[in-house]
Structure 1
């Protein structure tokens, strides 16, 4: 028979650092700093262990003496400019996607997935971790559509090779679909649709054929289109858009944090 300490915690219990993140207050790393500084209390007692299990429905959590209240759920789409990194704080001092949110009245939000520094376009941000995890789950196969400018004009034979994919260090790099959008001079634009999230997948796939990527723009996630949203600007998703994306993920609905 398992000792009490060996038992699995109740499903609604999470570690203290994760609880602060799920409540939309800060990242887990920032939560660990607050806990280490003795600024967090659970049930009136200072808690210094970030792995402490807490019940979000029953336990009273306070920071600097102020009881923590769950923030409203926020769902954003951002047109990420090229040159920004998808992180909260960058040790190299580079600009981040959070620079685009300055001046907005928002709780702590996190990116849903990533776009690398040289990529641009549609990036989702939210404080609803359950909704985000549903979209990121590999089992969801949520389609992501990219427009990619390359430094060559591929013929149909080369496009067929792209579609077949390539083995890179034992990993098959392939796309759901690849189509030629337009070409002119020595460059062309491709529309590439992915339904999985491998690291730098498009750049590595094209790089295997010695194709240089000039621009990479994500233009859609599922049925959500980037549309006319200006570069560097963000907007709130509508309730219909939130529900639509939730239906594409491995969850239905967006509650639960």
Structure 2
């Protein structure tokens, strides 16, 4: 007979989309969570969903309404809920909106801008960030030089940096000024600070880095620091 898997209590709360795992652990430590009518203060306490009755502040653990949205992340914000160094986070953009707990789907570093997804559906987020989904990510990058065809080809050819293979799926010149230029770089995989590391290896400095698309979903005219819900058509397109 197949037995249902046990999961840690904090993980169960976060996977339901109610909160982050860090918040869940704090709720549990504060005595706000009960399992089968008994207060449990161990975030790793094993729970079998469907067998155990979990409540938070006396309320049953119901699935919240699923929300999916996009944010035009401003430069200078950290992609985290709570920053130990006290820096402003992307959640500042949601102040006063009355949204449920939403987690970022992927990341943008502090100095980067543009399209960032949020949801309270961990299973959907896992699919979107799965490399097998094949969702290209498109960036517009201002650099401190005018690239020639050889430089663009080098970005696509890739490098080995710190034991990692880094490359752009495609790179093309968008426009150029006297001393700098904008290039469009498309990635078909996600590695930490991949574009910055790739350009640094070619002795090219990044002035601005803006993610403008994830798959078919484009940032469009959404204002800096603004957010909106994804449409059913956009969700379907991402799901493909």
Give 1:148's match in structure 2, choosing from 132, 141, 145: 141
Question: For residues 60-139 of structure 1, what are the structure 2 equivalents within 5 Å?
Answer: 60-139=53-132
5 Å-filtered alignment, 1:1-257, equals 10=4, 13-247=6-240
Structure 1: which 4+ aligned runs deviate by more than 4 Å? none
Contact 1:76 1:125 in 2 (8 A): yes
Count of aligned pairs between the two proteins: 240
SS in structure 2 at match of 1:152 = coil
Work out the CA distance in 2 between the residues paired with 1:137 and 1:53.
27
Structure 2: gaps (5+ residues): none
Residues of 2 paired with 1:56 and 1:109: CA distance?
A: 22
Question: Partners of 2:3 and 2:134 in 1: how far apart?
Answer: 30
TM-score w.r.t. length of structure 2:
0.95
* CA-CA distance at 1:237 after TM superposition: 0.3
C-alpha change, 1:164 and 1:8, in structure 2 (3 Å) is farther
Q: Is this contact kept in 2: 1:9–1:53, CA < 8 A?
A: no
The residue aligned with 1:250 is none
After superposition, the C-alpha distances for 1:195-227 in whole angstroms (9 at most, x for unaligned) are 111000000000001100000000000000000
C-alpha root-mean-square deviation of aligned residues, in Å? 1.6
Report the alpha carbon displacement of residue 69 of structure 1 after superposing the two structures with TM: 2.1
TM-score w.r.t. the length of structure 1 is 0.89
How much does 1:92 deviate?
1.2
Deviation at 1:184, TM superposition (A): 1.0
Supply the distance in 2 between the matched residues of 1:14 and 1:231 (Cα, whole angstroms).
39
Instruction: Report the alpha carbon displacement of residue 116 of structure 1 after superposing the two structures with TM.
Output: 0.2
